[in-house]
Structure 1
């Protein structure tokens, strides 16, 4: 130990203060971290802050009855906790390698193929051109929503709560306050700005870009709209949602060569490990790139 020993309660409080202030973690995230850390502290007889690898290894036995996803979440919280203690000078060692790593605990995000996305936008364009079921204004609203979900990777809550003039015709980006109040810069494509302008021209004013009688369109209604247009082009309801479109935004950007750190900033992830889950989609392209471009490949072809 490099600094003064801390009680678990003090160490947890300091860690959560850092998560809120520096990482921009949301209130629910903070509460989940606290529950996991306090539970581990109880299992470790309130000596978690100073625990060694042998003691942490015993947590795997205590967690045997839990689902793999729960074990993975708890272990991830402890790993981040011990990294904080090292960074803060409280410890000079990180014992978290002893924590269990359940195989396959974290599922891959659902991702729409490019053909699926093209079919969605073709259907929306048809509705805009023909007036669509329920009127032309509703088709324009749907177009603006999908362009922002897929073209900018907005979360459902961020989208429905956008102020009326958040997207400006002369500004190819907007600033969002995401989880935990952390601000991020979000790029807005020319297509999205045009779609928003067309929809906004149908509005008579108000506070929100996507208004309802009582405020703004609800997340539930957004889910219904996205799944309805998905069903129209043959995409099953369990394969599409606003968040799936956000996943598609991230996946297709990586396939196109986007930088992982830039993608982290655009998505508003506090931890890059959250963004790294999208790298699964690019494995084949990276293998092909190494096989085609790595300098040792040419040497192997030429032979000795």
Structure 2
């Protein structure tokens, strides 16, 4: 096996990296190897050449590629393959992570109002939509986590859901009383199958179909469909919890983030909201607009 193969095997075994993550690391490392030759033998002078090779890439792409190489060389040092770590010679572009898009409280209320109105018909499609919406916004699940939930993940006697997230990691997330009520109604009409949201082919609802259902609901609720997606609702769940005083560590656990740095993006969202509020509502700001 090559050094790259050994590194990827470590990521899979020790960190539970998903297949897509492993494929992305492999592409980045093999791309660097095309420029430098055997990465396990490249020195600092060789790594500085990557700055020119990556000159036309976006800063975020350069940062991702450099991160893959830093982890690779740290692995080689840990394994005793190399005595030095040349990764300090890699470029360090200044990147700013884009703030996630979220929905306002009013928009979330409009979505729920429409879903609840349609659920009064007790049609299976409407009850399923309400249950999906409750779990996306009420528990902050990722799209894949939600659609792939097995029926056994929802105990009938506890307000908790067992979720399998990225890399096969499992976490327990709470379920609101409204979500439990919506699920109870859905379970009465739910078709047979091992998944909580089964499809006609014997598998589960697809992510693509979930996206479509949400955008169709948004249109019926007079919200621009482009603004609504499963991930936007997950962002809204996190941001609105933070606004309500939730602890960042608790939020990290609920969202299933391996690194709290990922969760901290929501503190920036909240800060941006506060700045916008001051700019919009402060008396001096209004007076200057009037001038």
Which bracket does the TM-score occupy, shorter chain normalised?
0.7 to 0.9
Give the Å deviation of 1:38: 2.3
Calculate the aligned-residue CA RMSD, in Å: 2.9
Q: Within 5 A, what are the aligned runs for 1:64-79?
A: 64-79=55-70
Q: Deviations over 1:19-59 (max 9, x none)?
A: 2123221111101101112222342332456633x543332
| 2:155 corresponding residue in structure 1 | 168
Most deviating of 207-216 and 137-146 = 207-216
Give the Å deviation of 1:73: 1.9
- Decide which of 111, 115, 133 is 1:120's aligned counterpart: 111
- Decide which of 251, 255, 260 is 2:248's aligned counterpart: 260
Give the Å deviation of 1:88: 5.5
Provide the aligned length of Structure 1 versus Structure 2. 274
Cα distance between partner residues in 2 of 1:229 and 1:205: 25
Contact 1:169 1:194 in 2 (8 A): no
Change (3 A) 1:97 1:240: farther
Give the Å deviation of 1:282: 2.8
- Decide which of 13, 17, 20 is 1:21's aligned counterpart: 13
Change (3 A) 1:155 1:114: same
Q: Within 5 A, what are the aligned runs for 1:235-250?
A: 235-250=223-238
Q: Within 5 A, what are the aligned runs for 1:1-304?
A: 9-10=2-3, 12-48=4-40, 51-52=43-44, 54-85=45-76, 96-104=87-95, 106-129=97-120, 131=121, 136-203=123-190, 205-215=192-202, 216-283=204-271
Contact 1:24 1:270 in 2 (8 A): no
Cα distance between partner residues in 2 of 1:180 and 1:234: 37
Change (3 A) 1:152 1:96: farther
Q: Deviations over 1:106-131 (max 9, x none)?
A: 432221122211221122122223x2
Give the Å deviation of 1:182: 1.9
Any gaps of 5 or more consecutive residues in structure 1?
1-6, 288-304
Q: TM-score, normalization: structure 1?
A: 0.78
Q: TM-score, normalization: structure 2?
A: 0.81
Contact 1:149 1:246 in 2 (8 A): yes
Any gaps of 5 or more consecutive residues in structure 2?
276-291
Give the Å deviation of 1:97: 4.8
Give the Å deviation of 1:146: 0.5
Give the Å deviation of 1:255: 2.7
Cα distance between partner residues in 1 of 2:220 and 2:178: 22
Contact 2:40 2:76 in 1 (8 A): no
